[in-house]
Chains A and B, each alone.
Chain A
Amino acid sequence: MNDMRLLERSVDQTEIKISARDVQVWYGEKHAIRDVNVDLLDKTVTAFIGPSGCGKSTFLRCLNRMNDTIDISRVEGKIMLDGEDIYDKRVDPVQLRARVGMVFQKPNPFPKSIYDNVAYGPRIHGLARNRAELDEIVEKSLRGAALWNEVKDRLADPGTGLSGGQQQRLCIARAVATQPEVLLMDEPCSALDPIATSQVEELIDQLRAEFSVVIVTHSMQQAARVSQKTAFFHLGNLVEYGNTDDIFTNPRDPRTESYISGRIG
């Protein structure tokens, strides 16, 4: 693995893609996220770290309004994507999710063929005018997810027949195929073995060229390896946010220091 090389890469982007202001999330009576203010940069990998139940996944799911599917959840505050409030009444979450893709913790390919898995998004969004264009999108997405060489001869096989790591890359290809601007990843490697994990991590680094990537991870090593920016969540608060190097080498908040040195979490 090429940890050090990734770590040394500095943040060369300053353009803000998503900015959150005073975000509060309630699950019923539970105040899950408190006063989160954060600016996520374009073409940058941002890692959310923190102990279990600290709200990092919850906050991630706010960014493409996946929390809408949970009846009891309530979101307050402002989350701006390119300066537009995504919680505005006029926003259709379906349109938003086409621009903010998501990869889930457990690989969840559709029980369809590999081709159909990737082609599903472009189809429902009308991104391809004909079969040839769709083929092209599928190939490009699978190449983008570093899966093309492994599956190009069996595109008609079911996606669920792939190995865990391949399935997760298929899910990434599926998310990439809708040509999103932001890619949210909720612990994408937690169900994968180390080899598959390193493949996905390399992939994340490549994806940075095109998207803003936000990744929730339990593994601090992973955050250090793949991200340029890191946000540390604790008990629903965003404790510290900054360059990954700074967070890991020189944390300002004592809670961050405790967590990364393994005393809490």
Chain B
Amino acid sequence: MSDATLDGAQPRSSLLVADPRTRKRNAAEARFRAYGLGAIVISMIMLVILLFTIVTGGVGAFRQTYLEIPVALDAAQLDKNGNRDPADIRKVLTLTYGKILEQSLQQAIADKGIAVAELSAKDVSNLISKEASAQLRNRVLADPELIGQTVEARVLVNGRVDGYYKGRVSMESAARDANTSPAQLQLADALKAQGMLATEWNWSFLTSPDASDQRPEAAGVGIAILGSLYMMLVVLALAVPIGVAASIYLEEFAPKNRWTDIIEVNISNLAAVPSIVFGILGLAAFINFAGLPQSAPIVGGLVLTLMTLPTIIIATRAALKAVPPSIRDAALGVGASKMQSVFHHVLPLAMPGILTGTIIGLAQALGETAPLLLIGMVAFVKNFPSAPPDGLFEPASALPVQVYNWTQRADPAFIERASGAIIVLLAFLLCMNLLAILLRRKFERRW
């Protein structure tokens, strides 16, 4: 290095002029600052782009276009025997309800005097979502008294028409689309002008189950949210106590020998195991060996527990290590037992770190997809699981899997749904992080 060979006999230079070495050092520092700032700016830009794409793509999922029409529930078609027997009413298929909706729509169009131009009757009825008849049937089954009356029905419209009001479909693209036509969109515009058609806030996105390929307008994340919630309950109930207890034992009580070293190395390695490997483990151990049901949140929760444990253990051990040894000495010095010193003094001090680690682990588990695919959480689930504990054993979906699922489908309306589901997922993650921060504040303020 040239530093050592510098000639010490140089004349003293003025303090007012930076010498070349100082200038070089300052330049290096300025460069380093610029790199750091550049890195921050780049990551901020990426974050903004990410959020912008997701929000612009997904905000449409939270709005839905509905058609408000009077529907005459014809008793002759819906209840042939006329005795309102639920068993008989149940025999009437959605097909019949679909026809009733078609007739009602055509009637409504005729009443308002809207010209349907070259549209065929089939094209007109296509305005209505395929899901609408099923919803109407459910409504009637829930309240058989409606039969014979004319009710105002809020009917889901076809995904293309819905897309037209969210800017996804235009007249030009409709002209090239086999599933819709400019004339159909013009009819929808005419209905809108009459106040029969409106795009409103869509609660059902958050509450309804997934829907089939043909009816993206009906798809929701209800079951996925519930499934993710159930899995988080399992992870919380298992990973946190096991992880914290294991860390306390390893850090405070275990003798430091070869075995604990091996365990420590293995825990660190487990944290780096690809999550899909845990999925295979779960498939083999919990489904094939233990015989737990497929697609069930309990299995998902167990797999995610295995995955989260190393994260929680590593974070907890780091938090315990960070507690100054003088506190342990102080407690032991007044005659506290090892356990008292840990639980009265060390653990409360380590609590903020443990909570942060735990919640980061949970957030990681919430966003995990790969292992869930292997244990069958990717299945199409139409029925809500019941309340825990039974619900833990019934099929459910999960938010990240639902996102993955929807991005696989052909209809672009599902891309909007997928972005919507990502927004929901991000909202949950934000809430968890907020919780972590609040808890940390609360525990830190105690001292």
Q: List residues of chain A with CB under 8 Å of any chain B CB.
A: 64, 66, 69, 71, 94-98, 101-104, 106, 108-112, 120-121, 124-125, 158, 160, 171, 174-175, 177-178
A110 touches B332 (CB 8 A): no
Question: Nearest CB to that of B326 among chain A residues?
Answer: A108
Residues of A within 8 A of B329 (CB): 66, 69, 102, 104, 108
Q: Spot the interface stretch: B99-107, B170-178, B225-233, B335-343.
A: B335-343
B330 touches A125 (CB 8 A): no
A121 touches B256 (CB 8 A): no
Nearest CB of B to A168, in Å: 12
A110 touches B335 (CB 8 A): no
Question: Nearest CB to that of A122 among chain B residues?
Answer: B334
Extra A-B contacts (10), CB below 8 Å, given A111-B327, A124-B340, A175-B333: A69-B328, A96-B335, A101-B335, A102-B329, A108-B326, A111-B446, A124-B334, A160-B447, A171-B330, A178-B334
B334 touches A94 (CB 8 A): no
Is B345 at the interface (CB under 8 A from chain A)?
Answer: yes
A94 touches B327 (CB 8 A): no
Is B439 at the interface (CB under 8 A from chain A)?
Answer: no
Q: How far is the CA of A16 from the CA of B326 in the complex (A)?
A: 31
Is B344 at the interface (CB under 8 A from chain A)?
Answer: yes
A158 touches B334 (CB 8 A): no
Is B140 at the interface (CB under 8 A from chain A)?
Answer: no
Known contacts: A104-B326, A110-B327. The answer to whether A174 contacts B334 by CB under 8 A is yes
Nearest CB of B to A113, in Å: 10
Q: How far is the CA of A259 from the CA of B446 in the complex (A)?
A: 47
A97 touches B335 (CB 8 A): yes
Pick the most buried of A66, A69, A95, A160: most chain B CB atoms within 10 A of its CB.
A69
- 7 CB < 8 A contacts A-B: A66-B332, A71-B255, A97-B332, A102-B333, A108-B324, A120-B336, A171-B330
B332 touches A69 (CB 8 A): yes
Q: How far is the CA of A116 from the CA of B62 in the complex (A)?
A: 53
B334 touches A120 (CB 8 A): yes
Nearest CB of B to A103, in Å: 8
Q: How far is the CA of A177 from the CA of B326 in the complex (A)?
A: 19
Q: How far is the CA of A71 from the CA of B333 in the complex (A)?
A: 17
Residue from B327, B332, B335 within 8 A of A95 (CB atoms): B335
Residue from A101, A106, A112 within 8 A of B326 (CB atoms): A106
Is B331 at the interface (CB under 8 A from chain A)?
Answer: yes
Residues of A within 8 A of B345 (CB): 110
Is B349 at the interface (CB under 8 A from chain A)?
Answer: yes
Question: Nearest CB to that of B256 among chain A residues?
Answer: A71
B447 touches A94 (CB 8 A): no
B333 touches A120 (CB 8 A): no
Q: How far is the CA of A108 from the CA of B133 in the complex (A)?
A: 73
Nearest CB of A to B334, in Å: 4
Q: How far is the CA of A174 from the CA of B326 in the complex (A)?
A: 14
Question: Nearest CB to that of B328 among chain A residues?
Answer: A69
Known contacts: A71-B255, A108-B326. The answer to whether A175 contacts B334 by CB under 8 A is yes
A64 touches B447 (CB 8 A): no
Residues of B within 8 A of A94 (CB): 335-337
B335 touches A124 (CB 8 A): yes
Known contacts: A108-B326, A108-B327. The answer to whether A66 contacts B333 by CB under 8 A is yes
Q: How far is the CA of A121 from the CA of B336 in the complex (A)?
A: 7
Q: How far is the CA of A49 from the CA of B163 in the complex (A)?
A: 87
Residues of A within 8 A of B332 (CB): 66, 69, 97
